[in-house]
Amino acid sequence: MVNHEVKPLAAGLYFVATPIGTARDITLRALDILASADVIAAEDTRSMKRLLEIHGVPLGTRPVIAYHDHNGDKVRPRLMAYLAEGKSVAYASEAGTPLIADPGYDLGKIAREEGVLVTAAPGPSAVIDAMTIAGLPTDRFMFAGFLPNAKNARRNALAELGDIPATLVFYESPKRVEAMLQDAADILGATREAAVCRELTKKFEECVNGTLETLVAEFSERSVKGEIVVLITRRAEGASDEFDTEAELRKALESMSVRDASDVVSKASGQPKRKIYQLALALDKERKG
Ligand code: SAM
């Protein structure tokens, strides 16, 4: 069965969303665009060729050009030249929606600035899939992508996001998920509701709900594999009043300098840096006896 139609496409840049697991999660329009574009560009040309093969989309003599974070500056002029000649260019990242924690931003921005048609064949994205199934409030959400790898930078980033009145959504690697949940419990509060969604649309899909504290316990006992989205619900109204500044500072001082600990806790509590720094100095002195 052929699911695609080859039809003339207007000149322009077509961002195409591709599956995040199950290969059949691709729209008919995405297949039409991939079958019809003059030029295909992809973050990973091998994955793209495999996808075309699975769906019986013939490539013919059309070029498949690699475009990713490491060669973007070099390859973009070539793609822009095709667009300037009036060609249609389809771009897909390795999985999911391009630009969403994936390459494509610079290409789209410059194409728009040059007056080129920029459009998309929307489809899968792990952030939307996770929001859909996790059972946390969906009226407002803040997609924060990947947190920094370094512990202090990660804790600072969490502190900055902590008071945003929206469900927070993060992409995370299985290697770091336990440490990330622990930092989130320390900085945002152990009792915040959260969810870990893993392997979405794949055979071992799961979504584990709990407080940050219970999720830390669960994920410290498991060896975790696969792809992960972490969601954390917003701070309960009035909860910042219950923030135990002293306890948070003591915990932070176990792994951080006085300056870093006061930075993180002042952001998390919304209290002035100076005041928190003075308290941190006193606690540190007491700690060191
Ligand atoms: N552009 C993609 C999108 O629209 O979701 C995201 C690309 S980003 C480089 C890859 C990260 O997305 C993974 O590390 C994981 O956090 C998340 N992700 C992608 N596929 C997933 C899946 N099937 N299940 C859970 N998380 C997934």
| Claim to verify: residue 40 and residue 109 sit in the same structural domain | yes
* Structural domain includes residue 213: yes
Write the CA distances from 210 to 7, 182, 230, 232, 263, integer angstroms: 49, 13, 11, 10, 28
| Claim to verify: residue 48 and residue 119 sit in the same structural domain | yes
The vertex-113 CA angle with 93 and 95, nearest 5°, equals 5
pLDDT for 238 = 62
| Claim to verify: residue 79 and residue 178 sit in the same structural domain | no
- Here the CATH number for the domain that contains residue 227 is 3.30.950.10
CA distance 272 to 190: 23
| Claim to verify: residue 210 and residue 183 sit in the same structural domain | yes
* Cβ of residue 227 lying under 6 Å from some atom of ligand 1: yes
Distance 74 CA to ligand 1 centre (A): 26
Domain-ending residue, one of 124, 140, 162: 124
| Claim to verify: residue 116 and residue 216 sit in the same structural domain | no
Q: With beta carbons less than 8 A apart as the criterion, state whether 262 and 280 touch.
A: yes
* Structural domain includes residue 64: yes
| Claim to verify: residue 101 and residue 138 sit in the same structural domain | no
* Structural domain includes residue 5: no
Distance 123 CA to ligand 1 centre (A): 13
Distance 20 CA to ligand 1 centre (A): 7
| Claim to verify: residue 233 and residue 276 sit in the same structural domain | no
* Cβ of residue 15 lying under 6 Å from some atom of ligand 1: no
* Cβ of residue 25 lying under 6 Å from some atom of ligand 1: no
Domains in the chain: how many in total? 3
Distance 277 CA to ligand 1 centre (A): 38
Mean pLDDT across the chain: 94
CA distance 253 to 262: 9
What residue numbers bound the domain in which 257 lies?
243-288
| Claim to verify: residue 16 and residue 120 sit in the same structural domain | yes
Residues 6+ apart with CB under 8 A from 105: 99
| Claim to verify: residue 32 and residue 107 sit in the same structural domain | yes
- Here the CATH number for the domain that contains residue 30 is 3.40.1010.10
* Cβ of residue 20 lying under 6 Å from some atom of ligand 1: yes
Q: Summarize pLDDT for 131-181 with one digit per residue, the tens.
A: 999 999 999 999 999 999 999 999 999 999 999 999 999 999 999 999 999
Domain-ending residue, one of 91, 107, 124: 124
* Structural domain includes residue 6: no
* Structural domain includes residue 267: yes
Q: Which of 38, 47, 114 is nearest to 77 (CA)?
A: 114
Looking from the CA of residue 198, the nearest atom of ligand 1 is 25
* Cβ of residue 201 lying under 6 Å from some atom of ligand 1: yes
pLDDT for 280 = 87
* Structural domain includes residue 1: no
| Claim to verify: residue 101 and residue 166 sit in the same structural domain | no
Q: With beta carbons less than 8 A apart as the criterion, state whether 213 and 191 touch.
A: yes
Domain-ending residue, one of 200, 220, 239: 239
* Structural domain includes residue 7: no
Q: Tell how many helices (H) and how many strands (E) occur in the chain.
A: 11, 10
Q: Summarize pLDDT for 43-56 with one digit per residue, the tens.
A: 999 999 999 999 99
As given in the structure block, the two tokens for residue 221 are: 């006992």
Amino acid at 81: A
pTM score of the predicted model: 0.86
Q: Summarize pLDDT for 173-213 with one digit per residue, the tens.
A: 999 999 999 999 999 999 999 999 999 999 999 999 999 99
| Claim to verify: residue 100 and residue 31 sit in the same structural domain | yes
Q: Summarize pLDDT for 229-255 with one digit per residue, the tens.
A: 999 999 887 665 456 788 788 888 888
Looking from the CA of residue 17, the nearest atom of ligand 1 is 4
Distance 278 CA to ligand 1 centre (A): 42
| Claim to verify: residue 192 and residue 144 sit in the same structural domain | yes
* Structural domain includes residue 45: yes
* Cβ of residue 156 lying under 6 Å from some atom of ligand 1: no
Task: Check pLDDT > 50 for residue 215.
Answer: yes
